[in-house]
Amino acid sequence: MITTPTLLCFAHGLEAKAFLQNLDFQPLGTEFYHSTSKDLYLSVTGEGPLKALSQTLQHLTQHPRIRKVVNMGLCGGLSEGSQSIGDILDVRTIYSDRPDDEQGVQFHSFSTNAESRVDLVTAWRRITSIEKAQELARFAQLVDREAWGHAYACKQLSRDFQCKKIVSDFATNLEQCFEVRAKALEYSQALFEHYFSVIEPDFPTQPPEFDFDIKGFYLTNQQLSQIKKLLPEGTKKASLAIDTILLAGILGSEEHPKKRTQRLIEALRQSQHPLEDRLQNQVNQRLQPLTDQGWTVTFDRDLESPRLEIKTSFDRPEEVQARSRALASFDIQSWLRLFEGELDV
Amino acid sequence: MFDRIFIEQEVKDLPATEKILRTFPDLPITEIDQVDKVFGQVKKPYLQKRETLNLFLGKKRGQLVKEAPEAYGAAGAPHYYFVHAYNCIYECQYCYLQGYFHSPDIVLFLNHAEIAEEIHRVADQHPDQTVWFHAGEFSDSLALSHLSGELDFYFDCFKKRPTAKLELRTKSANIRELLKLEPAPNIITSFSLSPDKASKHFDLKTPPLKARLAAMKALSDAGHPLAIHLDPIIYQPNFIEAYDQMLSQLTNQIDLNRIQYISLGVVRFTKDVYREVRNNYPQTSEFRGNFKTSFDGKVRYDRPTRMYILNQVKALCSKYGASEDQIYLCME
Ligand code: SF4
């Protein structure tokens, strides 16, 4: 089975303990491990968004095969009542407070694909006042010290990102934090069990690359990418996305596979943008009297302005006459009417 | 509908605020100094509006009435818009709000008296002209009107100013509050319509065409002046038949002669909005392909295509009885 090489990030060794104890992790560097059996990487980044950011960037650049990062660990709740201690929550959007002592939260946020309704704000300093907790509670339900750094690194390097947090205390109850350390191992075990029962129950296979598995076509790489663009975004299998009637028509022809591919691209383009095609024909048709007689015609490719520039060169008097005649009889009104929407000729 | 309510201290004791809070007795409330200090301070993903929305109640500050962009309404008259809300409960795929604010949360401004004062001041600057004021530039004018409760206020304001006109632009069928009010000839409710299939495809969460047409009929029967926006028209291969059918459904209910004006416009985006639209709705093939940056920097179809579409729909309107002076082209 092909697995998605994944990096698990924790802030503290205690949070990662159950993973390190239960799997075959071998050290690759300082606080950085790899499990061959599960193809999982694990990093203990240290506390704070800067450490999270720099460690994740470093691991992802040194190991470009890692496609996904999962940040797990403890977090604080910002409003008692909506979460309970011990809840494991999927985070939807991650905000960050401002590193300078200014009020409010940084503008940039990062979203995961989680379907949850729980948001988190990453604090640059430990929360030491109820007022600070209340200020952050305007933006999110949870607070941690790292997730934003991990998410930022993943965004920069286009990696999937997931964030799973276990609520260990409430930032509005500053006395609880002493109990957290005592329970850290228990939380680590809960995250471990959650990971293998919910997040990766049977190790997802790597998403298949776009698959063009229709016999009878010959595709260059460029044509393959053209076809990908013409199919709905996210399409994985061309055979399912291309209209079977269209396909049958093209495959039934006697043409060479290369020519068929060209026809397929044309047909796909036409089916998506039929008006565009009609317009192109109209443009060609209206300029044809000039181009047929050897005039080079330049016009606004965006078709916003009807301005035409024409030029020619000639060697013989007959050419001068033929081109003059073509120019004199050129139907400029018809060209202008195209810009008033006359496409029905 | 909402997760939490944020209230500016300055508006917390207003009757309008109290009324809104009575509607949501169980929602957590947070008092804030100013809406701007929280709303839009962070980039909240637009599509989160599908799951959670916060409601902000506050006071509109800064310029309360603004000049509308050129070609906004019928030519020859000054056009202004005023803002009494930000954002919308609907989710039209082309909506420019998705690139405009940094948050989809709903903001209701409650300082209507100040806004009305400014409307009078602006109208006074045009003593010899009919001045148009448009509501709903950053929201739908009726969708939340049962909650925001400002309609009677603006009706009073414009009844005192018969030479100025108010346009309430909507895609909703929420006419309960409007029907309670005495119609005024200078207050026009304009409905944005698109064919049923297109509406289901692009105008997510909006009432179906049938409901909008029924709402129009009820308002028309009650004597409220109406207008129509066939805008944005999005090219689909069968658009002519689709608009034909829609106009037929419309004219079965309402005589087009009773419609004050019909505006036609083809889909267009600012560059930022276009980027957001492509990001938020990558599967919508209608927003790929034939879009160009045009004369004013907006992203739209090329000119021949736009004019072709507008001519076709205009011809259909004429076929169903609209006169030449009733129709104007929006933003063209
Ligand atoms: S109704 Fe108007 S404001 Fe609301 S989502 Fe649709 S386009 Fe946007």
Q: Is some CB atom of chain A closer than 8 A to the CB atom of B5?
A: no
CA separation for the pair B235, A268 (Å, rounded): 17
Structure tokens that stand for B223 in this block: 């004597």
A139 with B237: Cβ contact below 8 A: no
Mutation test of the interface with chain B: which of A79, A138, A299, choosing the one with the most B Cβ atoms within 10 A? A138
pLDDT at A81 over 90: no
pLDDT at A33 over 50: yes
A139 with B42: Cβ contact below 8 A: yes
How many residues can be counted in chain B? 332
Domain range summary for chain B, segments of one domain joined by +: 62-87+109-329
Task: Name the nearest CA neighbour of B268 among B228, B316, B317, B302.
Answer: B302
Top pLDDT among B214 and A127 is at: B214
* Nearest-neighbour CA in chain B from A175: distance (Å): 24
* Nearest-neighbour CA in chain A from B290: distance (Å): 7
CA separation for the pair A146, A51 (Å, rounded): 8
Q: How far apart are the first and last CA of chain B?
A: 37
- Ligand 1, residue B169: give the atom nearest the CA: 2
Which residue's CA is the nearest one to ligand 1's atom 6? B92
Closest residue in chain B to residue A340, using alpha carbons only: B307
Structure tokens that stand for A312 in this block: 């020619």
The angle formed by the CA atoms of residues A29, A35 and A38, to the nearest 5 degrees, is 150
Q: Is some CB atom of chain A closer than 8 A to the CB atom of B321?
A: no
A109 with B237: Cβ contact below 8 A: no
What are the chain B neighbours of A273 within 8 Å (beta carbons)?
Answer: 289-290
From B41, B285, B305, residue closest to A275, measured CB to CB: B305
Which residue's CA is the nearest one to ligand 1's atom 2? B140
What pLDDT digit, counting tens, does each position of A237-260 carry? 777 777 777 777 888 888 888 888
Sign of the four-CA dihedral B325, B327, B331, B332: negative
- Ligand 1, residue B97: give the atom nearest the CA: 8
Q: Once rounded to an integer, what is the mean pLDDT over residues A49-59? A: 95
* Nearest-neighbour CA in chain A from B117: distance (Å): 33
What are the chain A neighbours of B42 within 8 Å (beta carbons)?
Answer: 95, 105-109, 139
pLDDT of amino acid A176: 55
Domains of chain A: 6-199 (3.40.50.1580), 221-272 (no CATH), 287-338 (no CATH)
- Considering the entire predicted model, what is its pTM? 0.78
B45 with A93: Cβ contact below 8 A: yes
What pLDDT digit, counting tens, does each position of A179-189 carry? 666 788 889 99
User: Which pLDDT tens digits describe chain B residue by residue (332 residues)?
Assistant: 899 999 999 999 999 999 999 999 999 999 999 999 899 888 888 998 998 899 999 999 999 999 988 767 677 789 999 999 999 999 999 999 998 899 999 999 999 999 999 999 999 999 899 999 999 789 999 999 999 989 999 999 999 999 999 999 999 999 999 999 999 999 999 999 999 999 999 999 999 999 999 999 999 999 999 999 999 999 988 999 999 999 999 999 999 999 999 999 999 999 999 999 998 998 888 887 789 888 888 999 999 999 999 999 999 999 999 999 999 988 66
- For chains A and B, count residue pairs whose Cβ atoms are closer than 8 Å: 95
Pairing outcome for strands A93-96 and A32-35: unpaired
Distance from the alpha carbon of residue B194 to the mean position of ligand 1, in angstroms: 13
pLDDT of amino acid A204: 43
Backbone phi and psi for residue A7, each to the nearest 5 degrees, phi listed first: -105, 125
Closest residue in chain B to residue A336, using alpha carbons only: B304
Distance from the alpha carbon of residue B88 to the mean position of ligand 1, in angstroms: 6
The number of C-alpha atoms within 13 Å of B198 and in the hemisphere containing its C-beta is: 23
* Nearest-neighbour CA in chain B from A22: distance (Å): 37
Residues ≥6 apart with Cβ < 8 Å to B62:
none
For B:31-70, CB contacts with A below 8 A are 32, 37-38, 41-45, 48, 51-52
Answer whether B137 contacts ligand 1 (Cβ < 6 A).
no
Q: Is some CB atom of chain A closer than 8 A to the CB atom of B311?
A: yes
Residues ≥6 apart with Cβ < 8 Å to B321:
B251, B255, B256, B257
Q: Is some CB atom of chain A closer than 8 A to the CB atom of B290?
A: yes
Per CATH, the number for B62-87+109-329 is 3.80.30.30
CA separation for the pair B88, B101 (Å, rounded): 11
Contact A308, A335 (CB under 8 A): yes
pLDDT of amino acid A205: 38
- Ligand 1, residue B136: give the atom nearest the CA: 3
